[in-house]
Amino acid sequence: MSVVNVTASRSYDVTVSDGILDRCGEFCKPLVKGKTVVIVSDDNVFPLYGKRVTKSLENEGFVVKEFVVPHGERSKSLSSYINLLEFLFESGVTRSDLLVALGGGVVGDLCGFAAATYQRGVQFVQIPTTLLAMVDSSVGGKTAVNLENGKNQVGSFYQPSAVICDPKTLSTLPEEEYLCGCAEVIKYAVLFSEEFFSELEETPAKDQLENVITTCVTMKRDIVKADEFDTSERMLLNLGHTVGHAVEGLSGFQTLHGQAVAIGLATISRSAAKYGYLSDADCERIIALLEKYGLPTDTEYTVDDMYTLALSDKKATSDTITIVVPRRIGHCELMKLPKSQLKDWL
Ligand code: NAD
Ligand code: GLY
């Protein structure tokens, strides 16, 4: 079992251990005085793991209710959010009760935003069941829903009270979704550690899951501690996301988030190499590792297609946009560009 403590506006543990799902009630019990827990999940994950989570919570004396949305990005919407708030109200949930997000980043972001705003804030616990959610979205307190054409445009910073990670749940994750998590894992390695990058080259992430999850969570913990509200260093985590969000949006969310991030990471690496910020050798290693993990590294969308959506990125001001540029494997830098230069980088 590994435990990583996150210190932000709330301090909490991320616990990583095979089989921990059946003990989630023990972790939730000390957090709240209330008796009600609402599990927020989706229609793939709840049938697989809902019973085990419910049983563990009931064993600790909680009354458990569930709110299950259709799987997929479309559920990270204002309408799901409002339905969830209405459900909480109708169920008599109070500020001393608890929400539990059981699933991937979609239900984590939705549940987190509802927790942040329902009655001005109720506690919530993340039980991530995708690799992407384990290494990234469940930690650090970014919560959000999408506008019709605007990814994560409505949200808040609101930390969970605990994160409970059971790598065994990844055994049922479709391969494609698992690979999306690998894109975020490779992103961490490019950002912070050449040693970790080499480990990923040598040993598939699948064969070292607890190490991979704990390493990424520790990296994210350090960034969140330094810059919880995303005004400086935390923006580094957006490596690959300027192009990634544009590709995701252009595809109507048919391209999965991790695939879009992989395309974004490859694109920015090629541009960084072209402009002499990154060596050709490191660029080739990054693209080779993405390909080794079965991830896409190119897109058919044109620069013009991507430009408009990339500009709606939250890191843009009226005149500039901040991009994340790899300088070598294990080290990246933020670069503020006049918007007019973004097309060259795309
Ligand atoms: P997701 O939540 O849509 O899950 C992917 C798919 O896998 C879904 O169909 C889901 O039902 C299924 N699934 C989940 N766990 C499963 C399991 N164990 N077994 C079988 N099926 C399972 O997608 P995701 O990739 O986890 O998250 C993507 C979302 O996360 C995006 O909305 C993205 O914007 C957000 N995100 C947020 C942050 C943050 O910091 N808050 C960071 C990165 C990404
Ligand atoms: N996933 C980016 C962040 O948490 O800042």
Q: Please report the pLDDT score of residue 257 as a whole number.
A: 87
236 within 8 A of 265, measured Cβ to Cβ: no
Shortest-distance ligand to the CA of residue 234:
2
- Tens digit of pLDDT for each residue in 60-113? 999 999 999 999 989 999 999 999 999 999 999 999 999 999 999 999 999 999
Nearest residue CA, atom 33 of ligand 1? Answer: 105
Nearest residue CA, atom 1 of ligand 1? Answer: 104
257 in ligand 1 pocket by Cβ < 6 Å? yes
- Tens digit of pLDDT for each residue in 197-238? 999 999 999 999 999 999 999 999 999 999 999 999 999 999
| DSSP state, residue 205 | G
Residue 316 above 70 pLDDT?
no
Average pLDDT over residues 277-304: 95
pLDDT category at 151 given cuts 50, 70, 90 is confident
pTM of the model: 0.95
Q: What distance in angstroms lies between residue 103's CA and the mean position of ligand 1's atoms?
A: 7
Ligand 2, residues 130, 163, 238: which to mutate, most atoms within 8 A of Cβ? Answer: 238
DSSP states of 271-332: HHHHTTSS-HHHHHHHHHHHHHTT-----SS-HHHHHHHHHTSTTB-SSEEEEEEEEETTEE
Q: What distance in angstroms lies between residue 196's CA and the mean position of ligand 1's atoms?
A: 24
Ligand 1 atom closest to the CA of 258, numbered from 1:
25
Residue that is written with structure tokens 């991530």 in the block: 128
Lowest-confidence region among 123-132, 210-219, 249-258: 249-258
Rounded CA-CA distance 31/33 in Å is 7
Ligand 2 atom closest to the CA of 234, numbered from 1:
5
Rounded CA-CA distance 119/41 in Å is 21
Return the exposure string of 198-209: e unless at least 16 CB atoms fall within 10 Å of the residue's CB, then b: ebbeeeebeeeb
pLDDT category at 315 given cuts 50, 70, 90 is low
